[in-house]
Amino acid sequence: MHDIRDFIHRKLVFNTSRQRRFVLILSLIIGIISGLAAVFLKNLVHHATDFIMHGFDFTEGNYLYLILPLTGIGLTILFTLYVVKDDISHGVARILYAISKKNGKIERHNMYSSMIGSTLTIGFGGSMGLEAPIVLTGSAFGSYLGRRFHLNRKTVNILIGAGATGALAGIFKAPVAAVVFSLEVLMLDLTMVTLIPLLIASATAATIAFFFMGSQVMFSFELINPFYIKHLHWYIFLGIFTGLISVYFTRTTLFIESGMSRIKHKWQKWLLGGTVLGIMIYVFPALYGEGYQFMYDLVNQKATGLINETLFGNINDIWYFILLLGVIMLVKVVAMALTGGSGGVGGIFAPSLFVGSVSGVFFSKLINQLWPMADVPEKNMALVGMAGVMAGVMQAPLTGIFLIAESTGGYELFTPLMFTAVISYLTMRAFESRSIYTKRLAERGELMTHDKDRNVLQMMRVSQLIETNFRKVNVNGTMRDFTKEVAKSQRNVFPVVDEEDNFYGVIFINDIRHIIFKTELWDKTLVKELMFMPDTIVDPDESMESVAAKFQTTDNYNLPVIKNGKYLGFVSRAKVFSTYRKLLREFSDE
């Protein structure tokens, strides 16, 4: 017998070990694929933008910029309607939904459709980023390979994370930030089983990207001014400022997208959103596309293309320049939301970095004008501002910290990055408990990756937990009638009802144990004298959070479920707990 057990144990260990090695091989493949996809998409959008913008000059007031975004979004809508026939927007939210509700299944067309859709949108000037589409692309590869080899859901989710990690590492050449993103935003559990595949995919994708693109693929900046402790308080204030900007970013985006979603006709949304977006880009050329070139110029104190000079003239006055920075910081969010709300495909990663860089320059210039002795380094504030807005909007402070640290080629700004990112995150949390990625999913009960305890309860339904194997007792009966039901029952609680199942109360066997064997009382004692109405009952439409709270505040092991006065059954503490544990195990790593 022991030999058989040992054999089975060795077989299971061998199979588990072999599967883990296989997952590492798949992670390497996913890293290669996602790295190549990142390089391809970056080049595709770059050349598409060059082709579209060839010969255009804002200083000549070229009116084609009024219709370019409209054209790009229109082509994207045609592509999604007649080629893909599926919604391909909100890439990161779709990944979270797939992990939470679809057993890790991401549609196969996402391995290419998001890349094409984002190229059409952003290449023609849509004011969004490429990161979410490429992250969805990498995750779709991970999901496909995991399901192709019939791996379990937990392993498929790890491969989805590997795809997302590889895609981000390929875009930014920031492997540590990419790994942290998957842990913070996708909320994969931090175990060695999860971490090693992410590291392999991240390092592989970053190497692939660097091999094909060199420094061109990097979102990189060179530090000039070191960090001085005398500026620390300004970075703390910057954290508060970027936290408030993050609140504006999130609420404005959700408000505009909700408003656009109420317009049922796709082409009406396209015409309204694309037209307004075109006007905004014509006035503020910096809103065109991802905006990385503008960010790079702004951080390096060039700031070209901020406005259409044919409309406003040259920027000479510093206060005028600060005012324009404040305006563009706010309208970038509107432009991004209009792009997505009218049918475009893209993400919020680049816009959050854009708004963060402008926030940092705006804040530092304002401080230096009001308090010239402060001598706040504008470039450093721009870089730290990026981390601040990212930490707030995505509620992912570590991602913001490591992305900027890796992008600057070192960790000289690590201290101010930590202060600003954490304070921005805490400021944002004071107003919004959910990130822009998770807010709507959580409201619909479609999110399992964040706050698992609460979300597991949200997935449970009272109607699915009702137990009906309780013997009912007629309210007009006697104790003799009751004892007959006791003999047939395996439970110690009995609902008291009438012929139409109207609920009158319950009888606990323990409460009448001292008289139940006194046969002389059987015909003299009525059921009405034995029962009592419980203080706590449950409605079948009640939330499981409320039911769990009732169990926590009472000593009851069974609560009656009543609908419009009718008895339906009981919900038990044991079944609620076992169902909760089962669901929690399904969405957690062992």
The SS3 of residue 321 is helix
Residue count of the chain: 590
pLDDT of residue 80: 92
pLDDT of residue 518: 86
Q: Report strand pairing: 503-508 vs 493-497.
A: antiparallel
Q: Give the rounded percent of residues in the chain with a pLDDT score beyond 90.
A: 44
Higher per-residue pLDDT: 138 or 90: 138
Q: Which domains does the chain have, with CATH numbers?
A: 20-60+67-216 (1.10.3080.10), 229-443 (1.10.3080.10), 457-586 (3.10.580.10)
Token code pair at residue 443: 């409201």
To the nearest 10°, the Cα dihedral for 535, 536, 541, 542?
130
Location of structure tokens 């104790």: 479
Higher per-residue pLDDT: 490 or 470: 470
Q: With 80 as the cut, is the pLDDT of residue 101 above it?
A: no
Looking at this protein, which amino acid is placed at residue 543?
Answer: S
Q: Give the rounded percent of residues in the chain with a pLDDT score beyond 70.
A: 87
Location of structure tokens 């175990």: 191
pLDDT of residue 271: 94
Q: With 70 as the cut, is the pLDDT of residue 454 above it?
A: no
- Give the separation between CA 198 and CA 196, rounded to whole angstroms: 5
List all residues 6 or more positions away from 570 whose beta carbon is below 8 Å from its beta carbon: 466, 467, 470, 493, 495, 558, 559, 560, 561
- Give the separation between CA 336 and CA 386, rounded to whole angstroms: 17
- Give the separation between CA 132 and CA 146, rounded to whole angstroms: 21
Average pLDDT over residues 250-260: 92
Sheet containing strand 473-474, edge to edge, reads 473-474, 493-497, 503-508
Higher per-residue pLDDT: 436 or 196: 196
Tell me the CA distances in angstroms from 277 to 71, 264, 272, 446, one per residue in order: 11, 19, 9, 31
Q: With 50 as the cut, is the pLDDT of residue 188 above it?
A: yes
pLDDT of residue 16: 62
Tell me the CA distances in angstroms from 385 to 323, 363, 579, one per residue in order: 18, 9, 45
CA quadruple 129, 31, 170, 419: dihedral positive or negative? positive
Location of structure tokens 């890349």: 115
Query: Exposure string (b/e) for 227-250, b if CB count within 10 Å is 16 or more?
Result: beeebeebbeebbebbbbbbbbbb
Q: Which of 84-98, 282-296, 303-317, 491-505 has the lowest mean pLDDT?
A: 303-317
- Give the separation between CA 96 and CA 433, rounded to whole angstroms: 17
- What phi, psi does 582 have (nearest 5°)? -65, -45
- Asked if 532 contacts 506 with a C-beta cutoff of 8 angstroms, the reply is yes
Location of structure tokens 């910096």: 286
Q: With 60 as the cut, is the pLDDT of residue 14 above it?
A: no
Higher per-residue pLDDT: 357 or 86: 357
CA quadruple 101, 103, 108, 110: dihedral positive or negative? positive
Q: With 50 as the cut, is the pLDDT of residue 5 above it?
A: no
Q: Tell me the β-bridge partners of 497.
A: 474, 503
- Give the separation between CA 533 and CA 9, rounded to whole angstroms: 53
DSSP code of residue 297:
H
- Asked if 329 contacts 284 with a C-beta cutoff of 8 angstroms, the reply is no
Q: With 60 as the cut, is the pLDDT of residue 184 above it?
A: yes
Token code pair at residue 354: 């854009």
- Asked if 159 contacts 23 with a C-beta cutoff of 8 angstroms, the reply is yes
In whole numbers, what is the pLDDT of the chain averaged over residues?
85
To the nearest 10°, the Cα dihedral for 144, 146, 150, 155?
-150
- What phi, psi does 505 have (nearest 5°)? 160, -165
Q: With 70 as the cut, is the pLDDT of residue 410 above it?
A: no
Q: With 90 as the cut, is the pLDDT of residue 423 above it?
A: yes
CB atoms near residue 214 (< 10 Å): 10
